[in-house]
Structures are given as C-alpha cells and as structure tokens.
Structure 1
Amino acid sequence: MSTSPILTLKGVHTHIGAYHILHGVDFEVPAGEVTMLLGRNGAGKTTTLRTIMGLWQASQGQLSFKGQPLNGLATPDIATRGIAYVPENMGIFSDLTVKDNMVLAARAARHAGELDTQRLEWIFGLFPALKKFWLYPAGKLSGGQKQMLAVARAICEPRALILIDEPSKGLAPSIIQNLVTAFNELKRQQTTILLVEQNFMMAKALGDSVAVMDDGRVVHRGRMKELAEDESLQQRLLGLSLGAHQ
C-alpha cells in the first residue's frame, strides 16, 4: 500500500521551442519509496525530470512538492526545497577533484573542512572508491566511479527527493549492483527517489511504484511488483519483458 505523495504532477505539458514534448503528464511519487519512470526511448522521461527541476518550464498543468507549487520556480529555488537531480550526463566537473566536486554540491560548506564528516563517511561506506580517489581529478575516474560521484554529490546533504536519470547506462553489472545497494540504503534513510532506468532488472530490484510513459503521456501507473509479474503488460507497454533480462 502506497504512502502519501511527496511529488504530484497533474496535466503537465512542456514545450521545447516549437516541439510539444509532454502532453498532460499525470502521476504521483509516494514519499519514502523508489518510483520508477519507465518507457521507450523518446517517451518524455528526461523531459519530465527536467521539467520538475525547472530546467524547462511547464507550459500547462501543476507540479507540487510537499503540497507546495513548483511552477515558475527557478532551478536553484527548487533545489533549496530539498530536491536533487542526477542527470544522464552525470553533471560532474571533470577538471576538479572528487573533493572539490563534493564541496561545490554542499550548500552548507565553503571548503572540505565544513563538510559533514559523519555523512561523508556514510557516503564513503556506499562508494569506497570516492575515498580512494578523493584528490583525483573527476575526469580521470572510470565511468562507474563518475556515476558514484554524481550520486554522492546529490546526497552530500540530506535531500527529501532525488531525481536520477539512467544511472546504470553503460556500467558493468557489479557497479550496477553497487548502485542498487546504495539506493536501497537511501530509501532506508527515508529519501524518496524518482528513477528513470532502462535496465529492467534494476527497475525490478529497486522499484516500489512505477509510471510508464509513451509519447509524452503516462500510460500506466501502479506497483512495480505487479508490472514485474505480468509479462504481457511489459510487452504491451515496453516492447519486451523483464523475464528476458534474468
């Protein structure tokens, strides 16, 4: 049984230039859960995340976080409300060290000495490679380590909601499992996650609820477990089944 929503989208439309990308998106993100946002390429998933963050403004509809409207707010104002965003391109600063990347992400810290030591050790527990490469330029990290840094930057301070766009893309299975473990730990810490993902086994392992998009609309909402157990529904909504990815 789902909890009350922390984030709600009602009838959200987004235009990018002359292109009408989102066509009335409706779904809720229950507090304290991992919600999967699934769909074929080009369905509008990334646009939905970027609209929530105010990187693109909704042309119609309502977005609310903890019951307060997000419409019209600038991205920094949305971030200060407790929402973090990990984009598909990770958004890290390649020329800066891992340490400097973390300091920049922490609103309460002007230098490394002001980082929350207890939280930093918790993050190192999730991603030991970041401690090992603390003084390395981020651009010299492996793809998996860069993704770990991107997630670490989003959680360097407590956030109520994290939006994550395809974190497993191009990563080895062992790194993906590391991310699954980290996301489950975040959920235990009462952090809500909205996760766009193409790896269906990761979706099955993590997801509590799910929204499936097609052509700029949400065409299915429900519990991830129900979708994972219904191969005909997977085939109809996504064009393939979770069972094919064992």
Structure 2
Amino acid sequence: MNAPLLKLSAVETRIGAYHILHGVDFEVPRGQLTMLLGRNGAGKTTTLRTIMGLWKPSAGSVQFDGREIGGMATPEIARLGIAYVPESMGIFADLSVRDNMVLAARGARGADDIDAARLEWIFNLFPAMKTFWLHPAGKLSGGQKQMLAVSRAIVEPRKLILIDEPSKGLAPAMIANMIAAFRELKNTDTTILLVEQNFNFARQLGDTVAVMDDGRIVHRGAMAELADNQDLQTRLLGLSLAAHQ
C-alpha cells in the first residue's frame, strides 16, 4: 500500500489561551479526496491552518510526502506543492480575474506566462472564469468568487489542495457545478483534503472521511461506509446524510 501523502500524528494546536486541537491523528491517501467533517467549532479550520503553517502546532507531527512540515513557514509549505483555499476565499477583490490568476501562478509576470493548456482546462471546469476574465473579482457572484478561489489554487499543478467549505452559501445550481468540477479534478493526480458542512456534497465526492469533535478525530474510514450508516451519522454529526439529499 502506498504511504499516505499527508499524515497528522498527535497534533496539538494552541491559539493564545485556547487549546483547539487535542492530539489529531489521521491520514490523507494519495490521489484521493478526503472529507474532514464535524460540527461547527470542532477544529476543522484550525486543522487546515495548522497543516498550512498559518498556526504552529504545539506538539505532534505533520508529515507531507514523508517530510516533516510542522512548524515550517507557510511560503515554504506552499513551495512543496500545497495550496489552500480558505473559507474567506482569499481573492483580491480590486483586481481582475486575470490578475488574480497571474498572482497565483508562481513566477508569472502576465497571463501569457500561465500554461495555456492548463488555463483552458480551468476554463472548461469553470466557464465563468473565461467569461469574466477582465472583470474585477469583487463584482463576481458568491459562487463565481468560489470558482476563482479554486481556480487560483489549481492554476499550477499541486500535490495537495486544502479547501475549506467550498459550497457554503452557494445556490444548488452552483453546488452542482462545483461537484462536477471536483469530480474532474479527482481524475488528475491531485490529492484533496476538503472541509464541508453540506453532507450531500461530501457523500458525492469523498473517498475517505475523518470526523472531528472537540479537537479530536473520532472516526476514520471510507466515505461510502459513513454515507450508508445513518446511526453512525447521527452519533458523529448529529443528523443524517439522508436528510440532505
């Protein structure tokens, strides 16, 4: 069996006086989409931010591709091939879609420096990015901004993408578009760790799942197993996936 691309072992994170993560343990298999689920306040966003180096672990190990990255600076972690799409999306509202993409492409001085074939692939995933290429990002709809945030993360090949609640606040049609795009992305060599509150979204996309509660991992396994077990859903998440289909 291949070694996992990402492995967290006994990770603890403290933010000021607050002890948020209490010994987090889980793995992200290569080439798969792993869902990180849990109730609000369980520690999911803190986990992503700790992996990305935005918050430093106070204990434990974060290994990426066999290398310890816990405590490394965020730019160093990004250079290893990890991209992060925060819940806030992290786009530059005053800049055009094009300029947002140029800034995300390391070393690019202009749009002509972005790999043309990859850009066309992104346009196929998210046609609105081509339509609004020269428009200010701040003028996009919520769903289009989310598409731009994901497009920025994949403008160059990445080994791992961390995504925080991509469907939050989106209309059903936009969610369906996002699901289709992630399915296409799964067909590449990209590994994804995705935090999500929309359980139907999780059920359709997840290969594996880790469930958090109170800063700890309380369940690990196949997403299909959790999707088929309503008692387990209720115990771990407080409600069943069936209610969100």
State the partner residue of 2:192.
193
1:3 Cα deviation from its structure 2 partner: 5.1
Tell me how far apart the structure 2 counterparts of residues 119 and 170 of structure 1 sit (CA, whole Å).
28
Residue type matched to 1:40 in 2?
R
TM-score between the two structures when normalised by the length of structure 2: 0.99
State the partner residue of 2:144.
145
Matches within 5 A, 1:88-237: 88-237=87-236
Q: Tell me, which stretches of 5 or more residues in structure 1 are unaligned?
A: none
1:4 Cα deviation from its structure 2 partner: 3.2
Tell me how far apart the structure 2 counterparts of residues 140 and 3 of structure 1 sit (CA, whole Å).
44
Does 2:63 correspond to 1:64? Answer: yes
Residue type matched to 2:104 in 1?
A
Identity of aligned residues (%): 72
1:188-241, Cα deviation, whole Å (9 max, x unpaired): 011100000000000000000000000000000000000000000000000000
Residue type matched to 2:98 in 1?
K
State the partner residue of 2:10.
11
Residue type matched to 2:135 in 1?
Y
1:108 Cα deviation from its structure 2 partner: 3.0
> What's the secondary structure of 1:50's corresponding residue?
helix
Residue type matched to 2:94 in 1?
D
> What's the secondary structure of 1:100's corresponding residue?
helix
Tell me how far apart the structure 2 counterparts of residues 120 and 3 of structure 1 sit (CA, whole Å).
31
Residue type matched to 1:80 in 2?
R
Q: Tell me, which stretches of 5 or more residues in structure 2 are unaligned?
A: none
1:72 Cα deviation from its structure 2 partner: 1.8
TM-score between the two structures when normalised by the length of structure 1: 0.98
State the partner residue of 1:42.
41
1:110 Cα deviation from its structure 2 partner: 1.4
- Post-superposition, which runs of at least 4 consecutive aligned residues in structure 1 deviate over 2 A? none
1:181 Cα deviation from its structure 2 partner: 1.1
1:111 Cα deviation from its structure 2 partner: 1.1
Does 2:84 correspond to 1:85? Answer: yes
Tell me how far apart the structure 2 counterparts of residues 234 and 196 of structure 1 sit (CA, whole Å).
16
Tell me how far apart the structure 2 counterparts of residues 71 and 47 of structure 1 sit (CA, whole Å).
13
1:86-112, Cα deviation, whole Å (9 max, x unpaired): 000000000000000000000031111
Tell me how far apart the structure 2 counterparts of residues 42 and 83 of structure 1 sit (CA, whole Å).
24
> What's the secondary structure of 1:219's corresponding residue?
strand
1:131 Cα deviation from its structure 2 partner: 0.4
